[in-house]
Amino acid sequence: MSLTHCSLPVLGFAAFSGTGKTTLLEKLIPALVEKGIRIAMVKHAHHDFDVDKPGKDSYRLRKAGATQMLISARYRHALMTETPDDECTLNQLLGQLDQNNADLVLVEGFKHNAFPKIELHRAALGKPWLHPEDPNIVAVACDDSSSSVPSSELPSTSLPRLDINDIASLVAFIQRWMESHNAQTATCDSLSPTLLSVDDGRAKILDEIAVSEHTETCDLNELPHRVLAADIIAPVNVPSSTNSAMDGYAIRSDDIEREGYRLVSDVFAGHHYAETLTAGECVRIMTGAPVPEGADTVIMREQASDDNGTVSFDTTKGAIRAGQNVRQAGEDLRRGATVFQAGKRIGAAELGMMASLGFDRAEVFKPIKVALFSTGDEVQAPGTAAKSHCIYDANRYTLRAMLTKLGCEILDFGIIEDTEAALHATLSTATEQADMVISSGGVSVGDADYIKTVLRQLGDINFWRVNMRPGRPLAFGKLGDVPFFGLPGNPVAVMVTFLQFVEPAIRKMQGDAHWQPETLSAITQERIRSRRGRTEYTRGIYSISANGQLEVRSTGSQGSGILRSMSEANCLIEVAPDVDNAEVGDRVTIIPLASRL
């Protein structure tokens, strides 16, 4: 199912303008409603379409800057949302419908999106047929059945052919189609091996993953990239005392209107003036030094002149405002406030912050232990003499590098001989020692490898076909309590499936509560090929164009064995299942790789 935001059947009408789509729908909808079918409609309109009228309150509020305007009355309400940057996708729009109060969504427009449609055709218009180019058309409704039309112009198709003027037969077709749609949706999950979307696969995996229960206390220097297991609470105020934001002179704010001030002391950072400043006095003060009691205003050095201990200020260089250039105690952080919540990954800024609060250690999650091995009789270790018909093991090394980047502890079991005994022994030991087990190779449907047999014996493993490229075969499940990933064999597929499925799982186990993969939107400079109905990951190179736009192009040939293209890429271009090929100038989603590989 590509329209992931909608559980209802969605049916479109594809036709050239002039075919009379709306006129037909106007007759069709009451006939469907009469059968008890509640209809929701989604219609595409031209660029500047506006449902509102100038002068109406809702119009004025929108023009005043409300980017979402929900207007409600006794009998209806309407939501108007401004989308100046990117038009909403069909999938997002469907997500906004009240799906509990409809049985069928009819769509007019969105011709280039992949979802089921009935093609409407009127011979008199002399337009070409759409179904030869659009595999999503489920039936054609036309008026070409009359004998006046030459048979050469009739659609040569196995699709059901309906009479566009026979509303009753259209209704009967739609009812049958809805029944088969609903039956398919209901059984989709019980098929094996299941064909899954990337999002559903990831959601199923994350459902099975529990946050680690193992924590430890570590020194500051061991904390980078670790995840906090407890909140960090400020033990002090930051800054700890009210201090000067400048090199200058501190005075009292009730003493601003004065010609000259008597300089009573110098206050350097790390020192303080022990007395209360009185009217007529000033101290010379350095940035960060505590402001003396009584004083609350600092004038910068550049405005001051000191005549034998009498200091005056040139207010033509700037008026003196009460309280200026002073940082209040606790201004950045109050004692007792939560500085970082458990689940935060520690980077340079977090580490500096903890140090500045006086912490020399913190409680973090223990590193996840990941057992790793490669399978396949053709796979041999680098450093050994090349045998004929063999390939060197690349996957264990890409996986080790990605696991290291995530801060995992690695238990490397090497290359395992493709026999039942060897795989059984390895999986049993790995499960005892590790928090997670990852293998590569041997999980494709129809693969002769023993790994599938052994996995079936040892645990509860699903062999999925994920609707993605590269990386369609994926095994996931539990060996006892230990999550197991059987990644594909192809080196690029290994990396892409790791990024999409394994990394989110590891981060969840690690307690990394706030992580979301970074995605950006870029303009493609090339056509990005993609089959409808599956998520396509193209290795890409993004950059900023001369006019400041984020642009992306592919690295070229996209075979899933071509590891070099993964090295050339700085991003993956993700084309969603409901989108056809991305054309030059289209916006595409990119997943930057720099922080992840």
Q: List the one residue from 441, 471, 477, 504 that touches ligand AMP (CB under 6 A).
A: 441
The nearest distance, CB 544 to ligand AMP, in angstroms, is 35
Residue nearest to Mg ion (CB): 376
Binding-site partner at residue 379 among ligand AMP, Mg ion, none, CB < 5 to 8 Å by type: ligand AMP
| Residue 393: partners with Cβ closer than 8 Å, 6 or more residues away | 374, 379, 380, 381, 382, 415
Q: Judged by CB under 5 A, which stretch of 180-188, 356-364, 434-442, 570-578 contacts Mg ion?
A: 434-442
Query: Which residue, 376 or 473, has its beta carbon nearer to Mg ion?
Result: 376
Cα–chain center distance at 474: 21
Binding-site partner at residue 294 among ligand AMP, Mg ion, none, CB < 5 to 8 Å by type: none
Query: Which residue, 256 or 391, has its beta carbon nearer to ligand AMP?
Result: 391
Q: List the one residue from 431, 490, 530, 538 that touches ligand AMP (CB under 6 A).
A: 490
Residue among 215, 194, 288, 274 at smallest CA distance from 246: 288
Query: Which residue, 143 or 377, has its beta carbon nearer to ligand AMP?
Result: 377
The nearest distance, CB 487 to ligand AMP, in angstroms, is 9
- Rounded Cα gap, residues 242 and 295, in angstroms: 10
Residue 494, classed as helix, strand or coil, is helix
- Residue 460's beta-bridge partner residues? 478
Q: List the one residue from 292, 294, 486, 491 that touches ligand AMP (CB under 6 A).
A: 491
565 touching ligand AMP, by CB under 6 A: no
426 touching ligand AMP, by CB under 6 A: no
The nearest distance, CB 392 to Mg ion, in angstroms, is 15
442 touching ligand AMP, by CB under 6 A: yes
Residue among 460, 476, 496 at smallest CA distance from 591: 496
Binders of ligand AMP: how many residues, by CB under 6 A? 17
Residue nearest to ligand AMP (CB): 489
441 touching Mg ion, by CB under 5 A: yes
Q: Is residue 202 a contact partner of residue 501, using CB atoms and an 8 Å limit?
A: yes
Binding-site partner at residue 500 among ligand AMP, Mg ion, none, CB < 5 to 8 Å by type: none
- Rounded Cα gap, residues 489 and 561, in angstroms: 9
10-14 sheet: strands from edge to edge: 39-43, 104-108, 10-14, 117-121, 137-142, 161-163
Binding-site partner at residue 300 among ligand AMP, Mg ion, none, CB < 5 to 8 Å by type: none
Query: Which residue, 1 or 196, has its beta carbon nearer to ligand AMP?
Result: 196
The dihedrals phi and psi of 18, each to the nearest 5 degrees, come to: 100, -10
Q: List the one residue from 91, 237, 374, 565 that touches ligand AMP (CB under 6 A).
A: 374
Residue 313, classed as helix, strand or coil, is strand
Query: Which residue, 40 or 437, has its beta carbon nearer to ligand AMP?
Result: 437
Whose tokens are 């309906």? That residue is: 162
Query: Which residue, 228 or 399, has its beta carbon nearer to ligand AMP?
Result: 399
Question: What is the amino acid identity at position 190?
Answer: S
Cα–chain center distance at 18: 41
Burial 514-550 (b: 16+ CB within 10 A, else e): eeeeeeeebbbbbebebebbbbbbbbbbbeeeeeeee
Query: Which residue, 230 or 390, has its beta carbon nearer to ligand AMP?
Result: 390
Query: Which residue, 442 or 504, has its beta carbon nearer to Mg ion?
Result: 442
442 touching Mg ion, by CB under 5 A: yes
Binding-site partner at residue 395 among ligand AMP, Mg ion, none, CB < 5 to 8 Å by type: ligand AMP
Binding-site partner at residue 363 among Mg ion, ligand AMP, none, CB < 5 to 8 Å by type: none
The nearest distance, CB 500 to Mg ion, in angstroms, is 21
Q: Judged by CB under 6 A, which stretch of 145-153, 389-397, 403-411, 544-552 contacts ligand AMP?
A: 389-397
Token pair of 167, please?
A: 């509303």
Report DSSP letters for 359-409, one per residue: -SEEEEEPPPEEEEEEE-TTEE-TTSPPPTT-EE--HHHHHHHHHHHTT-E
Looking only at the bridges linking them, the beta strands covering 338-340 and 261-267 are unpaired
Burial class (CB in 10 A: 0-12, 13-18, 19+), 513: middle
- Rounded Cα gap, residues 489 and 423, in angstroms: 16
Site for ligand AMP in 450-489 (CB under 6 A): 488-489
Query: Which residue, 13 or 450, has its beta carbon nearer to Mg ion?
Result: 450
Question: What is the amino acid identity at position 343?
Answer: G
291 touching ligand AMP, by CB under 6 A: no
The nearest distance, CB 444 to Mg ion, in angstroms, is 7
Residue spans of alpha helices (H) in 434-476: 451-458
Q: Judged by CB under 6 A, which stretch of 286-294, 352-360, 372-380, 476-484 contacts ligand AMP?
A: 372-380
Residue among 239, 237, 250 at smallest CA distance from 325: 250
Residue among 169, 177, 139, 175 at smallest CA distance from 155: 139
The dihedrals phi and psi of 568, each to the nearest 5 degrees, come to: -70, -30
Q: List the one residue from 9, 343, 367, 376 that touches ligand AMP (CB under 6 A).
A: 376
Residue 288, classed as helix, strand or coil, is coil
The nearest distance, CB 597 to ligand AMP, in angstroms, is 17
- Residue 108's beta-bridge partner residues? 13, 43
Site for Mg ion in 358-377 (CB under 5 A): 376
The nearest distance, CB 462 to ligand AMP, in angstroms, is 16
Q: Judged by CB under 6 A, which stretch of 187-195, 342-350, 441-449, 454-462 contacts ligand AMP?
A: 441-449
488 touching Mg ion, by CB under 5 A: no
Binding-site partner at residue 491 among ligand AMP, Mg ion, none, CB < 5 to 8 Å by type: ligand AMP
Residues forming contacts to Mg ion in the complex (CB under 5 A) are 376, 441-442
Residues forming contacts to ligand AMP in the complex (CB under 6 A) are 374, 376, 378-379, 391, 393-395, 440-442, 444, 447, 488-491
